[in-house]
Structure 1
Amino acid sequence: MIVVFGSLNVDVMIAVDHLPLPGETVLGPGYQLTAGGKGANQALAAARAGGAVTMIGCVGGDPLAETALTDLRAAGVDLSHLTTVADPTGLAAICVDKLGENHVVVASGANRQTKASQLSDSLLGPKTLLVLQMEVPLTENWAIIRRAKVKGTRVLLNVAPAAPIPTDVLPLVDWLIVNENEARQIAASLGNPIDDARTAAKFIAGASKTTVIVTLGAAGAAAYLKDGSDLSVGALKIQPVDTVGAGDSFVGGFAAAIDRGKDLAEALRYASVGGALACLHPGAQPSLPLQAAIEARLADLPA
């Protein structure tokens, strides 16, 4: 079972010719309103990739909440542990340019009220894979992780957006997933600023005694284990439409593969394909691929 503790948002997607510079106004032809939030995205990605998923988080008592939850319900995600609070449902404004690159600004709203107490101990244990990100109060993340490890729960932390992690929490994480910028930021927070993302990820793995996975865009991804060994995986050759959902699709696909008993190498391949396929369609949740689509492209991944 996969339990996702994290954020739920509604995304306002605006296509633009180029991303705005500071102080610049850029016009777009229209906008698209879709569900988002890293927690919800990863829960949906894992469910579409074949996982049994429970979502823990908060939404507001406003019309946007229904938009935030519709796709999760359709995918069979268990929403019985969500809480409705007085703050408005989280909202993200996303600009996407012609090359698929994006700027994202998030108004956290109800996500600020997400509490570790929402997650019952009955959902924790060796059969549970707990997935977390960094868009809810971080003290609640750390409290959940400490509780989870006492119960023998497997823990996957996606450090997005990047922020320092307590040194006593890092060794409790089984898989730490970061992008290149996040790898550099976490290494710097541990006292070792490193420009190269792979070197930074390797340093984090050695310092934290956990497996660190760094996503590398068109170069695929690499995993660095606490014993000093490493694995790498390539990426599908694609022409991206936008990259908004790529990281969350990678995390959700990885979680689904691990929860099905796949080893690290197999899970990396599954996640890499899922992340690439999410770049072929606009938006975060609308782009997340189904299990059959991922499996159909596994053979196309470079060895």
Structure 2
Amino acid sequence: MITVFGSLNVDLVTAVERLPGAGETVIGPAYALHPGGKGANQALAARRAGAEVALIGAVGRDAFAEIALSLLAADGVDLAGVARVDAPTGAAFIAVDAAGANQIVVAAGANALASAQALSAMALGKRDVLLLQREVPEAECIAAARLVRKAGGRVILNLAPAGVPAAELLDNLDILIVNEHEAAVLAGALGWGELVPDALAQRVDAERGVACIVTLGADGVVGWHGGVRRRLEAPEVEVVDTVAAGDSFVGAFAAALDAGYGFSSALQRGLAAGSLACTVVGAQPSVPRRAEIEALAGHAFL
């Protein structure tokens, strides 16, 4: 069982020829409205990859809440732990350029009121996996992590958006997942200077006892676990939009671990899912399903 404690948003996405610079306005022809939020995206990704998933978070009492929950409900994510609060449902404003790169501004809204209290009513155990990100209050993430670790379960943190995690949060992790920018922020926060991602992952694994994965975009992924290095190249795909690629990786990786796959096989499935997400526009609409993931993983890593 995977429990995701995280954010739910509505994404407003517009295509632009190029991303704007500071103080600049760039005109897009139209926009699309999609369900999103890192917590919701990763919950959906884990569910579509085959796991049983519960999501804990918060939405408002507005029309956007139904949009934010729509695909999660359709795919069978357990939403009993999603609270309705007196704040607007979170929103993300996303510009995507002609090369598929994106620029994102997130308004927290109801996510700022998300509480880990629902976890205390769950029958947690050694088979449980908790998946965290950084779009809900960190104190609540720490509370959730402590509950799951006390029950003997595993805790995964995706350090996104980039930021400096509290020491107590790092102390309650089993696996840390970062991209290259997040890796640089983390290295600075730990006083480790300008480490390359591979060296950072190795040091987190060796010194903190936390397995560390760095996603490298088109260059694939590197992970260190128990002193062993894994390095995988990304499958070649036609990139149209990188939104939710990281979330698809994280959700599918967690689902593979939950299904009993080893660290390397879970990396393969995460990388396949992240690559597939790049071939479809949007956040949750781009999240791939298990059959697609298995087909690409089987083909790409023979």
* TM-score normalized by the length of structure 1: 0.97
Tell me how far apart the structure 2 counterparts of residues 177 and 45 of structure 1 sit (CA, whole Å): 15
> CA offsets per residue over residues 85-104 of structure 1, 9 Å max, x none?
00000000000000000000
- The runs of at least 4 consecutive aligned structure 1 residues that moved more than 4 Å come to none
Q: What do the CA deviations read for 1:1-23 (whole angstroms, capped 9, x no partner)?
A: 11000000000000000000001
Whole-angstrom CA distance in 2 between matches of 1:132 and 1:93: 22
Q: Deviations over 1:158-177 (max 9, x none)?
A: 01012222334324211110
Map of 2:35 onto structure 1: 35
- Does the CA contact (< 8 Å) of 2:133 and 2:160 recur in 1? yes
Structure 1 counterpart of 2:17: 17
- Residue type of the alignment partner of 2:279: L
TM-score between the two structures when normalised by the length of structure 2 = 0.97
Cα contact 2:119–2:147 (8 A) shared by 1 = no
Q: Provide the aligned C-alpha RMSD in A.
A: 1.2
| Alignment match, 2:295 | 296
**Which position in structure 2 is the counterpart of 1:270?**
269
One-letter code of the match for 1:82?
V
Q: How many correspondences in the alignment? A: 302
User: Comparing 145-154 with 193-202, which one deviates more in the overlay?
Assistant: 193-202
| 1:121–1:149 CA distance, 2 compared to 1 (3 A) | farther
The within-5 A match list for 1:88-237 is 88-225=88-225, 227-237=226-236
Contact map agreement 1:202 1:228 (CA 8 A) in 2: yes
Unaligned runs of 5+ in 1: none
What residue in structure 1 maps to residue 87 of structure 2?
87
Mapped to 2, the partners of 1:19 and 1:74 lie a distance apart of 33
Report the Cα distance in structure 2 between the residues aligned to 1:167 and 1:85, rounded to whole angstroms: 29
Residues 120 and 147 in structure 2, CA contact (< 8 A), matched pair in contact too: no
Distance 2:89 2:218 in 1: 33
Q: CA deviation at 1:123?
A: 3.9
Alpha-carbon distance in structure 2 between the residues aligned to 1:162 and 1:118: 26
Distance 1:74 1:131 in 2: 21
**C-alpha separation in 2, matches of 1:250 and 1:119:** 24
**Given residue 80 of structure 1, which amino acid in structure 2 is its aligned partner?**
A
Give SS of 2:7's match.
coil
Counterpart CA distance in 2 for 1:151 and 1:141 is 16
Cα distance in 1 for partners of 2:32, 2:101 equals 16
Question: 2:256 aligns to what?
Answer: 257
Which digits, 9 at most, give the CA deviation of each residue in 1:230-260, with x for residues without a partner? 1111211012101011000000000110000
SS of 2:112's partner is helix
| Higher mean displacement: 232-241 or 265-274 | 232-241
SS at match of 1:10: strand
Provide the C-alpha distance between the structure 1 equivalents of 2:294 and 2:91, rounded to a whole number of angstroms: 32
Amino acid at match of 1:260: A
Counterpart AA for 2:15:
A
Q: Give the stretch that moved more between structures: 190-199 or 47-56.
A: 190-199
For residue 136 of structure 1, give the secondary structure of its aligned residue in structure 2. coil
**Counterpart residue type for residue 274 of structure 2:** G
| Secondary structure of the corresponding residue to residue 119 of structure 1 | helix
Q: 1:170, 1:129 → 2: CA distance?
A: 16
Classify the secondary structure of the residue corresponding to 1:91.
strand
Q: Structure 2 CA distance, aligned partners of 1:142 and 1:163? A: 15
**Within 2, Cα distance between the matches of 1:82 and 1:143?**
17
Identity rate of aligned residues, in percent? 48
Q: Partners of 2:9 and 2:115 in 1: how far apart?
A: 16
| Structure 1 residue 122, shift from structure 2 partner | 2.2
Q: Report which stretch shifted further, 234-243 or 14-23.
A: 234-243
Q: Is the 8 A contact 1:10 1:90 kept in 2?
A: yes
